[in-house]
Structure 1
Amino acid sequence: MESRPKVTPLTRPSARRSHVPPLGVHPTPDGGIDVAVAASHADGVELCLVDVVEPHRDAHDPARYAERRFPLDGPVYGVWHGHVPHVRPGQRYGFRVHGAWDPEAGQRHNPAKLLVDPYARGLVGDLTYGPETLGAVSAPRRPDEPDSPDGRWWVAERYGAPDDRDSLAHVPHSVVVASHPGPPPLSRPRVPWADTVVYEAHVKGLTATHPDVPPELRGTYAGVAHPAMIEHLTSLGVTTLELLPIHAFADEPRLVAHGLTNYWGYQTLGFFAPHAAYATRSARGAGPAAVLDEVRGMVHLLHEAGIEVLLDVVYNHTCEGGDDALHVSWRGLDNAGYYLHDGASPAALADVTGTGNSLDFRRPRVVQLALDSLRYWAEVVGVDGFRFDLAVTLGRTQHGFSPDHPFLVALQTDPVLNNLKLVAEPWDVGPGGWQTGNFPPPTAEWNDRFRDAVRGFWLDAPREGSHGRPMHGLRELTTRLAGSADLFGHSDPPLVRGPVASVNYVTAHDGFTLADLVAYDHKHNEANGEDNRDGSDHNLSWNHGVEGHAPRGAEGGDTATEPWSAVVPLRRRSQRNLLAMLLLSAGTPMLTAGDELGRSQGGNNNAYAQDNEISWIDWDLEDAARDLLDTTRFLLALRREHPALRADSFFLGTPRPGEDEPDLLWFDADGAPMDREAWDMAGRRVVQMLRPGPDDGDAHVLLALNGGLDDVGITLPPAAGGGSWERVWSSSWDRPEAPDDEADDVTLESLSVEVFLNR
């Protein structure tokens, strides 16, 4: 019979109120640790120090470990705390929580389960997906797809009895990490919003196949900061690298049963600990402190290159899933205190995230957890900002979303956070979950209306038009090109956010890549194991007549074959049209990593479980990919060099104080100003957008758009000061090499964009 560690009997704590140390485990100068953990409904909490006593045994063999338990004092305002001497950095630990097991009331305390510290700075070990990591008695379940593999995962009885199997050998262990000073004495790049170009990337996928990154660094934090990657980012014109989640995360049991993993990382296990799997082998071997140092080093090297670092953070839910799923941290500490419940009896989780659980931001301890985590990554790691996944959940009150939610107020007023770049994904799947434009400054927001307008005008409408159906979308597109004041201009006082509050994107990690948008009418997600049921069906994509990508050798040029000789050139032009809209519009552009290279996921628009070549960037570039890369560089250089393309405030359409000309003008194909009648003309597909340079000496920029299926002759509007227009780029060019010509009368090819400068 397995021996159990000796446990000091727990008694009901005294009601004395005293000083409570900061939450988490922190080394003290006397060689011990201060401990504090929130578990407001518990009857007792033990700190469990875990030692590896037989390292030759398997990591999931209980005999590998010995455990020492220390009852904590409390609770003081729901916090259990204590000081333990003679504990050094590197020590493994966890918590065991005693209290009521009453699932119908939302209480799920089970001391048989070793719990991860929500404030752990480091984690070691892997999670298993058997009954040991479930709080209630459970049974195996086979995947429900018809072609299910032999794998199984375990599901707990939602209101069943507590499971008494010890989880110590089956869960990651928290690790004591020495206190770190702030980042090295290097100023943050602090790129102004108007100059910002965001590049969304995955730590592993960015460098997993890069030939110039040493093999031992590929797919790691160190690889992201390798000179080859920094050169790519800086030559491209990127100012701000946004990384998909690097908080420690776990896989969903269903994926494990299918032999898949959660590649994207939106299943957080620790809000303070870096995901160790992205560190180099040497750092992982040296322990969590070395993993943290590698992350800090990555940020420092990117800062030296002038590149900001944003983290995609997931505070809306955790990896524990629904009531029938994992029991590894928050569920065992204070299920009713951390998770949003529906208020019914028996208690059930209120899922507004689509993941099985939602953290309850009506609770002060949940708000504190998020704020403490954000400050840690900003102050200790040195990152420059955050993108908040499903951010509406973070602003939910008893009555739905509120821009005055305490968490959002804290982001505006906290002296550490309010001067960082903060970006909201402004929706979740709960009631009233679409809130684009409703977050308070200084938060910027992903603009899904921009995405849909650009795709709709350049892809969906032409697809409809090719079948003889009406083509629409000009007014919506031009509103997005001008900065989306209709969404982001509502504030007190009005217009203070500016167009930079709109994070414009055409693609993101979630959805088709740029190359797949122009090659697929339908998603192809069979590899995800859900019979192609997952992923959005609203893609606004266009395959240009043939589903899928052309085989190598059939793409174009002398070796072109039908139907690819006609289809592929049009697809490449469509990619350039989409890039032009993204990179030359008012607002903050976000480019998805690999789109500048024509990266494809084979039509998978939900590659969250594909940690393989489907998701990784392929750096073996063909000529077409190099042309697209050069085009992206050129367009970003245009944006960087011409202030007219980097609006910091909303356009008024009238002269600004001290100026003679309006700050934005629209013209029709004949070069005449657009009036109300012109805007109301059904089916209009040609427009010219003139953005004057904001200061003397700055070039005026003219964008001429033809979203129709036929070539159109246009007349350019008069150039300022009697000058002339210089055509510097056309999406009809395979490469960004302008012919030596100047013209007032121009033929816009079908489905094309042209850029003119008046210097």
Structure 2
Amino acid sequence: MAANKSGQGGATIFETGVDFAVWSHNAGQIELCLFGKDDKELARLPMERGDDHVHRLFVDGLKEGARYGYRADGVYAPDSGLWFDPSKLLVDPYAKELDRPFVYDPLLGTFGAETQHLVPKAIVTRDIRVKPEKPLFKPGGFVYEVAVRPFTILHPEVPEAQRGTVAALAHPAVIAHLKRIGVDAVELMPITAWIDERHLPPLGLRNGWGYNPVGFMALDPRLVPGGVAELRDTVAKLHAEGIAVILDLVFNHTGESDRFGATLSLRGLDNLSFYRHLPSRPGELVNDTGTGNTVACDHPYIRQLVIDSLRHFVLGAGIDGFRFDLAPVLGRTVNGFEGHGETLTAMLADDVLADRVMIAEPWDIGPGGYQLGNFPSPFLEWNDRVRDDLRCYWRGDDWKTGPLATALAGSSDIFSRDGGQATRSVNFLAAHDGFTLKDLVSYSGKHNEANGEQNRDGHNENHSWNNGVEGDTRYPDIICRRRDDLKALLSTLFATRGSIMLTAGDEAGRSQHGNNNAYCQDNEITWVDWAALDDELIAHTAFVSGLRKRFSVFSEMNFFSGNGDVEWISPSGQPMSVQEWETPNGSTLGMLLSTRDSESGKAAKLAILLNRSGGEETFALPGPAAWCPLAPDASKKSVTSAAVPRRSVVFYLQS
């Protein structure tokens, strides 16, 4: 057995054996542990430290499929940030496949307690590379956020063995639904290996979202039992149908949590290097994430681990892009957030990643944590101001006409900073975190009692309304009002300029019964009940999605010039006056857009008319040509005025 050099981490297969490498500056000794399929430890082998602090070992005769882990020995002094404990089996940060999921046990965080029987073993795998095609998703498209297991676990047409897995996304029935509503990209909530938060097992709950990772590359066997090959095959099948795949990744924290958490990987290998600590108290973890720890993404090792992880998913599975949870952590240094810091810059400059779609959730809870609009181009950014302004407008809040128009036009107030000429906004109404769209119009307050925290968790201000009754109801008029509100919200979202995102099931009236923090509900609360979906809402989503594809104006990213490309009108058909803009309770707005109609191939004028009032409003439509309504059941008769029903959005095309 001899040392070899193959980068800063991972297991690399050669003709005569396998080379192992793992980085640690502060460990006194790292040992490689090899295991049989029965979990029996076959060997414990000391590794050789190099001048670059990479510990290496080449094992002659070892082959693909071998199982392994690491043990790191050194000083155990948590108050000094040192957590070395050789009783802890550690997962390789560069592991690409694991032999089982993580299961929380208090022993994982107990000093001196052996954890070999608890920790998944990494599997030596051979890298298979695909030639990445140009990403299918283009800014301005329709992103569909999917939690893999809840989305397919109850699908009646998916074979039982595939339900709840990545492979299920490639089933023809699932693809048919995605194509019906015009999805351009599925954004998969985390599918890398995660562990339950330690307070969940005593409550009989499980993390169903995956935002508590241990490995950045290794796929979770519960969601992707076929490993990278399963992901690669699913991506290929979705690509064949014109649907891109975006991965939601978590680099901001790990499931090792605070000082009372588990020692599973990075903590045991070099806690002081890999996590952020208070400069004056190196034993105290910085908690910019709200989850107990914050990954030091400006550390050269972590920076390279992030880059290598992204490259792995592009080259190994053909992934089109990435969404980054609590993305300011990627730009954090000891001086705060740096939008053009080394890690973000390296991500955009890498030759494999340069053309990938990059989406930031532009906030964390650390100092200066709200960074909407401050990520470097071409990053797209989740825009929670659009979310809140659209919700508040349709709830009936005062002073929301101007914010509504700004949202519809691409949020130039945010993205024109530093000379920006185009929007980078990802507009959404609801996401995994918070109310579902149906719950938004069905509950005035959150109902998280099932989470076991006495309804203290989750956001308190949701800008929601219940239409007269809290929660489920059999009153037909309330059911009708809620459906009308959902249609109006969906129409507004699909009429915004920029990219848009919809969470799976929101197109069909999915409810979580008022739970706005359902991360721990791996059960019927979050599972999509395909038999109960509202086909009328699905049809409406398909209609407005079709309009978005038909007219180029929505997906174009440059800001409006105001020179005839957009006009704002009142019901009189005249331009909005200052007084009308400033009317506190204004309930109507018309938007006239110059665009191109892909059906005719010609320039066209489109009218989008919004009415949030409780009664019908009539809009005069400017001439000289007449207008035709755009709706699934609309008459083709040309008109010069439009009757806009209560609580609705209508579309007219100038004929």
Q: TM-score, normalised by structure 2?
A: 0.96
Separation (CA, whole Å) in 2 of partners of 1:702 and 1:227: 36
Partner amino acid, structure 1, of 2:565: D
The superposition leaves residues 578-613 of structure 1 with CA deviations (integer Å, 9 ceiling, x where unpaired) of 001111111111111011111111111111011111
The residue aligned with 1:744 is 640
* Contact residue 298 and residue 343 of structure 2 kept, 8 A: no
Task: Confirm whether residue 601 of structure 1 aligns to residue 512 of structure 2.
Answer: yes
Task: Classify the secondary structure of the residue corresponding to 1:219.
Answer: coil
The residue aligned with 1:732 is none
Alpha-carbon shift at residue 571 of structure 1 (Å): 0.8
Task: Confirm whether residue 726 of structure 1 aligns to residue 637 of structure 2.
Answer: no
Long gaps (5+) in structure 2:
none
* Contact residue 571 and residue 588 of structure 2 kept, 8 A: yes
Task: Classify the secondary structure of the residue corresponding to 1:28.
Answer: strand
Partner amino acid, structure 1, of 2:351: P
Separation (CA, whole Å) in 2 of partners of 1:628 and 1:370: 40
Partner amino acid, structure 2, of 1:224: L
Task: Classify the secondary structure of the residue corresponding to 1:296.
Answer: helix
Separation (CA, whole Å) in 1 of partners of 2:271 and 2:10: 21
Alpha-carbon shift at residue 677 of structure 1 (Å): 4.0
The residue aligned with 1:591 is 502
Task: Confirm whether residue 477 of structure 1 aligns to residue 477 of structure 2.
Answer: no
The residue aligned with 2:570 is 668
Task: Confirm whether residue 569 of structure 1 aligns to residue 480 of structure 2.
Answer: yes
Separation (CA, whole Å) in 2 of partners of 1:277 and 1:712: 52
The residue aligned with 1:406 is 342
Q: 1:43 aligns with which of 22, 25, 28?
A: 28
The residue aligned with 1:709 is 614
Partner amino acid, structure 1, of 2:517: N
Separation (CA, whole Å) in 2 of partners of 1:523 and 1:191: 34
Separation (CA, whole Å) in 2 of partners of 1:404 and 1:191: 24
The superposition leaves residues 402-446 of structure 1 with CA deviations (integer Å, 9 ceiling, x where unpaired) of 111111111221111120111000000111111111111111000
* Contact residue 126 and residue 170 of structure 1 kept, 8 A: no
The residue aligned with 1:686 is 588
Alpha-carbon shift at residue 645 of structure 1 (Å): 2.8
Q: 1:540 aligns with which of 463, 466, 472?
A: 463
Q: 1:192 aligns with which of 126, 133, 138?
A: 138
Task: Confirm whether residue 426 of structure 1 aligns to residue 337 of structure 2.
Answer: no
* Contact residue 418 and residue 442 of structure 1 kept, 8 A: no
The residue aligned with 1:155 is none
* Contact residue 645 and residue 701 of structure 1 kept, 8 A: no
The superposition leaves residues 197-218 of structure 1 with CA deviations (integer Å, 9 ceiling, x where unpaired) of 1000111111111111121211
Separation (CA, whole Å) in 2 of partners of 1:713 and 1:97: 73
Separation (CA, whole Å) in 1 of partners of 2:305 and 2:554: 39
Alpha-carbon shift at residue 307 of structure 1 (Å): 0.6
* Contact residue 460 and residue 541 of structure 1 kept, 8 A: no
* Contact residue 9 and residue 54 of structure 2 kept, 8 A: no
Alpha-carbon shift at residue 329 of structure 1 (Å): 0.7
Separation (CA, whole Å) in 2 of partners of 1:231 and 1:36: 44
Task: Classify the secondary structure of the residue corresponding to 1:416.
Answer: coil
Separation (CA, whole Å) in 1 of partners of 2:502 and 2:165: 21
Task: Confirm whether residue 758 of structure 1 aligns to residue 654 of structure 2.
Answer: yes
The superposition leaves residues 616-636 of structure 1 with CA deviations (integer Å, 9 ceiling, x where unpaired) of 1111146xx111111110111
Distance 1:345 1:197, change over 3 A: closer
The superposition leaves residues 327-376 of structure 1 with CA deviations (integer Å, 9 ceiling, x where unpaired) of 11111100010001011236200100000001012211111111110110
The residue aligned with 1:557 is none
Separation (CA, whole Å) in 1 of partners of 2:101 and 2:595: 56
* Contact residue 665 and residue 691 of structure 1 kept, 8 A: yes
* Contact residue 474 and residue 684 of structure 1 kept, 8 A: yes
Matched residues, percent identical? 40
Query: What RMSD in Å do the two structures reach over aligned CA positions?
Result: 1.8
Partner amino acid, structure 2, of 1:239: D
Task: Confirm whether residue 633 of structure 1 aligns to residue 535 of structure 2.
Answer: no
* Contact residue 516 and residue 602 of structure 1 kept, 8 A: yes
Separation (CA, whole Å) in 2 of partners of 1:129 and 1:239: 37
Kindly report which structure 2 residues correspond to 1:434-473, keeping only aligned pairs within 5 A, or say none.
434-461=370-397, 471-473=398-400
Separation (CA, whole Å) in 2 of partners of 1:322 and 1:35: 29
The residue aligned with 2:100 is 125
Partner amino acid, structure 2, of 1:701: L
Q: TM-score, normalised by structure 1?
A: 0.83
Kindly report which structure 2 residues correspond to 1:244-283, keeping only aligned pairs within 5 A, or say none.
244-279=189-224
Alpha-carbon shift at residue 119 of structure 1 (Å): 0.4
Partner amino acid, structure 1, of 2:214: L
Alpha-carbon shift at residue 132 of structure 1 (Å): 2.9
Separation (CA, whole Å) in 2 of partners of 1:104 and 1:479: 50
Partner amino acid, structure 2, of 1:606: N
Alpha-carbon shift at residue 694 of structure 1 (Å): 4.9
* Contact residue 189 and residue 307 of structure 1 kept, 8 A: no
Separation (CA, whole Å) in 1 of partners of 2:394 and 2:593: 21
Kindly report which structure 2 residues correspond to 1:642-661, keeping only aligned pairs within 5 A, or say none.
642-654=551-563
Q: 2:522 aligns with which of 611, 614, 620?
A: 611
Separation (CA, whole Å) in 1 of partners of 2:553 and 2:72: 60
Distance 1:605 1:226, change over 3 A: same
Partner amino acid, structure 2, of 1:164: G
Q: 2:259 aligns with which of 303, 323, 337?
A: 323
Q: State the aligned residue count.
A: 651
Kindly report which structure 2 residues correspond to 1:6-45, keeping only aligned pairs within 5 A, or say none.
20-45=5-30
* Contact residue 4 and residue 58 of structure 2 kept, 8 A: no
> Higher Cα Rg: structure 1 or 2?
1
Partner amino acid, structure 2, of 1:426: P
Q: 2:316 aligns with which of 373, 380, 384?
A: 380
Alpha-carbon shift at residue 675 of structure 1 (Å): 4.0
Partner amino acid, structure 1, of 2:149: K
Distance 1:595 1:122, change over 3 A: same
Separation (CA, whole Å) in 1 of partners of 2:75 and 2:115: 19
The superposition leaves residues 128-147 of structure 1 with CA deviations (integer Å, 9 ceiling, x where unpaired) of 5444312x4xxxxxxxxxxx
The superposition leaves residues 39-80 of structure 1 with CA deviations (integer Å, 9 ceiling, x where unpaired) of 11111111111224xx4xxxxxxxx51231111111422211
Q: 2:603 aligns with which of 698, 705, 708?
A: 698
Partner amino acid, structure 2, of 1:488: F
Long gaps (5+) in structure 1:
1-7, 9-17, 56-63, 137-162, 285-289, 462-470, 555-563, 655-661, 730-735
Separation (CA, whole Å) in 1 of partners of 2:101 and 2:572: 66
Task: Confirm whether residue 176 of structure 1 aligns to residue 121 of structure 2.
Answer: no
Separation (CA, whole Å) in 2 of partners of 1:260 and 1:451: 29
Partner amino acid, structure 2, of 1:531: Q
Alpha-carbon shift at residue 753 of structure 1 (Å): 1.3
Partner amino acid, structure 2, of 1:338: F
Separation (CA, whole Å) in 1 of partners of 2:105 and 2:441: 43
Partner amino acid, structure 2, of 1:478: A
Distance 1:337 1:347, change over 3 A: same
Separation (CA, whole Å) in 2 of partners of 1:117 and 1:346: 24
Task: Classify the secondary structure of the residue corresponding to 1:717.
Answer: coil
Task: Classify the secondary structure of the residue corresponding to 2:70.
Answer: strand
Kindly report which structure 2 residues correspond to 1:40-439, keeping only aligned pairs within 5 A, or say none.
40-52=25-37, 55=38, 65-134=40-109, 136=110, 163-182=111-130, 187-188=133-134, 190-194=136-140, 196-279=141-224, 284=225, 290-345=226-281, 347-439=283-375
